[in-house]
């Protein structure tokens, strides 16, 4: 038979200023079959807007954020000021957690070196003005 698709949940026909879904951002839906079954099961989970500050997240999220932040700093994106290395290093240093192989600590050391190089670069530019 033809595949049946669920009706669209978040689209309404008339424009309304109020949100009937409250703080619901999306719904994840998928179907799966158990290994010994021929009948599929549906799993559905709404995702809510539950904003947390970075300090309330787990260490993996904080460390990943620090790595992304470092990438932006290294690419010298104009949205970040040159003194942001301190904030990135503080975030990375406080989110090391379980560090098998010492890769997270090595990242922090490399970013400290990058910070020092950036400071020298800024000093050099200012001295040549």
Q: What is the DSSP-derived secondary structure letter of residue 22?
A: T
So what's the pLDDT on residue 5? 73
Q: What SS3 state is found at 90?
A: helix
Query: pTM score, two decimals?
Result: 0.57
Per-residue pLDDT of the chain (129 residues; tens, 9 = 90+): 556 777 777 776 566 566 666 677 788 888 889 999 889 898 888 888 777 778 778 899 899 999 999 998 888 776 665 567 888 999 999 999 888 889 999 999 999 999 998 888 877 878 887
Q: What SS3 state is found at 43?
A: strand
Using an 8 Å Cβ cutoff, are 60 and 68 in contact?
A: no
Cα–Cα distance, 70 to 66 (Å, whole number): 6
Cα–Cα distance, 21 to 58 (Å, whole number): 28
So what's the pLDDT on residue 12? 64
Instruction: Give the phi and the psi of residue 41 in degrees, each rounded to 5.
Output: -120, 150
Instruction: Give the phi and the psi of residue 118 in degrees, each rounded to 5.
Output: -65, -40
Cα–Cα distance, 31 to 39 (Å, whole number): 10
So what's the pLDDT on residue 103? 94
The number of residues in the chain equals 129
């Amino acid at each position: 038979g033809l595949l049946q698709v669920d009706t669209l949940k978040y689209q309404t026909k008339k424009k309304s200023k109020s949100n009937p879904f409250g703080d619901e951002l999306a719904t994840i839906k998928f179907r799966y079959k158990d290994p010994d079954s021929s009948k599929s099961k549906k799993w559905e989970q709404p995702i809510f807007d539950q904003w947390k500050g970075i300090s309330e997240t787990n260490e993996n999220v904080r460390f990943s954020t620090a790595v992304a932040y470092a990438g932006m700093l290294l690419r010298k994106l104009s949205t970040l000021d040159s003194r942001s290395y301190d904030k990135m290093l503080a975030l990375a240093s406080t989110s090391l957690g379980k560090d098998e192989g010492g890769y997270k600590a090595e990242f922090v050391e490399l970013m400290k070196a990058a910070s020092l190089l950036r400071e020298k670069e800024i000093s050099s530019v200012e001295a040549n003005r």
